[in-house]
Amino acid sequence: MNGKEFRVMVVDLASGKGRLEVLPGRDLVIGGSGLAALLYRQYGKPDLSWDDPQQPLIFAIGPLTGLFPLMSKTVCSFKSNYHGEYTESHAGGRSALALAFAGFDALVLVGRAPRLSSLLVASRSLELREVSFLKGLDCDAAGKLLRTTYPGGSGHRSILRIGPAGELGSAMACITVDTYRHFGRMGGGAAMGAKNLKAIVIHGDSALDLPEGKAYARLYQELYGKVTSTEMMRKYHNLGTAANLQALNDISSLPWNNLQRTSDAAIATISGERFADAALLRNGACGGCPVGCIHIGFFREKMADNRYHFHQVAYDYEPIFAVGTMLGVTDVFDVLRIIEAVEKVGLDVMSAGVALAWATEASERGLISDRETLTPLRFGDAAAYRQAAWQLGSGASPFYRLLGQGTLRAAAQYGGADFACVLGQEMAGYATGELFFAAQTLGFRHSHLDTGAYGYDQKNSQRDVDRAVDFLIDDEPGRALLTSMVACLFARAVYDNETLARCLEAVGHGELAATLPETAERIRRLRWLVRASTGFAPQNFSIPKRFFTVSTWKGAVDAGYLDAIKEEYGRRIVALIAAGANEWR
Amino acid sequence: MCGNARLSRRKSFAKGPPHYLPGRGSATTTIDIMKQLSTPRLDQCIGCHSCALACARLVHKKGSWHCAGIRIRSAGGLSTGFTASRCLSCDPPPCAAVCPTGALTPRRGGGVVVRKGSCIRCGACVAACPVDGIATDHFGDIYICIHCGLCVPFCPQNCLEMVDGDAAGEVR
């Protein structure tokens, strides 16, 4: 771990045997996103189906993981069943430090376990264990049993697991990490389920050697001071990202009721302040991050008389948008109840909420009925959405099984594609304007974090296609660099290139520090090249009509401008892929 | 967040590691020797492991959350909060009593002074500690709090504090 070469544990789940591979390439791809793409090139089967046992499920960290504050994320990559192409999903929790302190830069899982299994990975242990007793269990119950099944190591291990949605192969299935974090998007849970793998326990039971001298410790202290003693990160541990609710509603960019509107007076009952005042129980942190951005809320349920039980649920802006405003649910405790239901069944909350919003409007329009949804869906009916969440994740009807493959798949059969809020995948909560709509549609992960498009939309009202697309193209490499280290993207204001270079030098990677801009570009192109090898083309993705009807602070969406941005951005991505092919031939 | 409190404590430890750290010869008394690490506000812990990482980094020169004198554990899953495994400054310390080589000797005010060079990695101290306060790695090296306080300014939640021995309110 953390040497000039990558230490990669490759596990064949069919046999339960692993082998330690020592691979070159640190100077080319750094780690994290770059390493994951490199490993897919080595172990992936671009031409085979997403669920072919040979397909790898990859977890990768970077050279700064665990060595500096907020270097606390893991990159998971796989061939997605959502779009049949290569993708990444990122999560924190304790996964990154556990993998680092187990002594590995990456974990690559190939093959398919004969029976439902769990995998233990530690510095001196590798064990595949049959866990048929966990079949069908929700993520919460599975987590509790896994802690019993694997005694010891509390606090120094990460427990990744899937719920029924992952076992079923839903394209919205997530991998839950340490209860409150998730590899959420693009069906990572299905990729794990296809391998008959219910859980992965990573025990960070070893240690990294540190460089001699005091320079490293001094730099750590300097950065620690920046992230804890300045205003730089206050947003994230104060109200958290939930603060975005009011801000986006104020500029008519918050999706309500399946994006039928972008602002609503009901925001007062569901703002970040309201969540903090009424339902915030405590904060939590990923391992190695002193910011503590995880906001854990609570709700309680009354059984009878004065007998209650209480539940703890993590919240953020995105889940609140998806199962709150998008579904017309405006009570903070109801939002938490729905989030919990979605997470227990093992679905990504953003995807599930947006899918159920479409299903609700489709119900209103008579395209589907209770026969499909089983539970009548109406905007604002929180109890119905709690039931529907479980039905969607567990595939309780043919309709829900189809919807779980993606909203547009369901719309293709039942109609309603025009109002499906899908931008490459179910939309993130930023109805900020044309650039974001095009950027998420064609973004590498179809994530709002691929580029800063939603920020650009909020600051720029002019309609200059080249300038807007230049922004996307210029913004991406820096993010690819951070996700190769692997930093939390909340820390992007702290870790500029100069700081990253100092960090790399301090831990013995001076050779990487000298070439960051070129390496960032190389990683960006490699990621796109790998995705292209699995079938990506810009024309695979279109923007539903609903997005052309949106009004933001800039006024009505300009259809011509949106189309032009998407076309130009697609053209530029194709050029990146061609350059990557030339570079990695 | 108690930024000012953190800053003031950081200043108080800005002089760097005490010279009685493991591997640096025998302990000689400083004015801090009677101070003890305590965790009076552990209910504020967010589980970031910054304290353990600081101990491993600054005292033991390792990148680890395990090879440290203070180790954060979840108390039965993340939903139930955190505990800190560490030396509670027993006086007399049972770990020193079973140490066959004098690597651990009673520290004035409770806890132990560690002479790492004398440790033969027998693990007797680990078994003798009643509170799981001593960690051991795969090589048998032990990790025990020496009450130096270097972890304290790295807690973002103000959970930790150096206190006089008779004010700790813990094992005596």
Q: Three-class SS of residue A396? A: coil
Residue A374 backbone zone (phi > 0: left; psi -120 to 50: alpha; other: beta): left
The structure tokens 């697609």 sit at A570
Measured between alpha carbons, how far apart are the two ends of chain B, in Å? Answer: 31
Burial of A70 (0-12, 13-18, 19+ CB in 10 A): buried
Verify whether the Cβ–Cβ distance A210 to B62 is below 8 Å. Answer: yes
> What is the pLDDT at residue A143?
96
Residue A107 corresponds to which tokens in the numbers above? 């974990």
Which one, of A327, A342, A51, lies nearest residue A176 by Cα? A342
Verify whether the Cβ–Cβ distance A206 to B79 is below 8 Å. Answer: no
CA–CA gap between residue B23 and residue B25 (Å, rounded): 6
CB crowding B129-163: b at 16 or more within 10 Å, else e: beeebbbbbeeebbbbbbbbbbbbbbbbbbbbbbe
CA–CA gap between residue A431 and residue B131 (Å, rounded): 54
> What is the pLDDT at residue B11?
32
Closest Cα in chain A to B140: A206
Asked if B7 has any chain A CB less than 8 Å from its own CB, the reply is yes
> What is the pLDDT at residue B75?
75
> What is the pLDDT at residue A25?
96
Verify whether the Cβ–Cβ distance A155 to B3 is below 8 Å. Answer: no
> What is the pLDDT at residue B169?
61
The model's pLDDT over B9-32, given as tens digits with 9 standing for 90+, comes to: 333 333 333 333 333 333 333 445
Cross-chain CB nearest to B73 (options A67, A155, A210): A155
Verify whether the Cβ–Cβ distance B71 to A155 is below 8 Å. Answer: yes
Q: Which residues are B73's β-sheet partners?
A: B83
How far CA A417 is from CA of A19, A172, A263, A395, A412, in Å, comes to: 47, 18, 23, 21, 7
CA–CA gap between residue A358 and residue A372 (Å, rounded): 13
Q: Report ipTM for this prediction.
A: 0.95
> Domains in chain A, start-ordered, CATH in brackets?
6-203 (3.60.9.10), 230-392 (1.10.569.10), 426-583 (1.10.599.10)
Q: Residues near A199 by Cβ (< 8 Å), separated by ≥ 6?
A: A118, A119, A131, A134, A142, A146, A159, A160, A161, A162
Q: Is the pLDDT of residue B3 over 80?
A: no
- Going by the DSSP 8-state scheme, the letter that residue B80 receives in this structure is G
Verify whether the Cβ–Cβ distance B66 to A154 is below 8 Å. Answer: no
- Average pLDDT per block of 10 residues along chain A, 585 residues long: 86 98 97 98 98 98 98 98 98 98 98 98 98 98 95 94 98 97 98 98 97 94 91 85 96 97 97 97 96 96 92 97 98 98 98 98 98 98 98 98 98 98 98 97 97 94 95 98 96 95 96 95 98 98 97 92 98 98 93
Within 13 Å, how many C-alpha atoms sit on residue A94's CB side? Answer: 32
> What is the pLDDT at residue B172?
46
> What is the pLDDT at residue B171?
52
CA–CA gap between residue A50 and residue A78 (Å, rounded): 8
Q: Which amino acid is at B99?
A: C
The structure tokens 């239901």 sit at A341
> What is the pLDDT at residue A527?
98
User: What is the band of B81 on the pLDDT scale with cuts at 50, 70, 90?
Assistant: confident
Q: What ranges do the domains of chain B cover? A: 3-165
Verify whether the Cβ–Cβ distance B64 to A180 is below 8 Å. Answer: no
> What is the pLDDT at residue A89?
98
The distance of Cα A375 from the centroid of its chain, to the nearest Å, equals 28
Asked whether the beta carbons of A174 and A189 are under 8 A apart, the reply is yes
Closest Cα in chain B to A152: B73
Q: Is the pLDDT of residue B104 over 80?
A: yes
Dihedral, CA of residue A387, residue A393, residue A398 and residue A402, to nearest 10: 120
Task: Provide, as residue numbers in chain A, all residues whose Cβ is less than 8 Å from the Cβ of B157.
Answer: 292
> What is the pLDDT at residue B27?
33
CA–CA gap between residue B97 and residue B15 (Å, rounded): 33
Asked if B62 has any chain A CB less than 8 Å from its own CB, the reply is yes
Asked whether the beta carbons of A2 and A42 are under 8 A apart, the reply is no
Closest Cα in chain B to A101: B64
> What is the pLDDT at residue A521?
98
CA–CA gap between residue A285 and residue B52 (Å, rounded): 14
Instruction: Supply the CATH classification number for the domain B3-165.
Output: 3.30.70.20
> What is the pLDDT at residue A241?
94
> What is the pLDDT at residue B164?
87
> What is the pLDDT at residue B138?
95
Which one, of A423, A434, A504, lies nearest residue A462 by Cα? A434
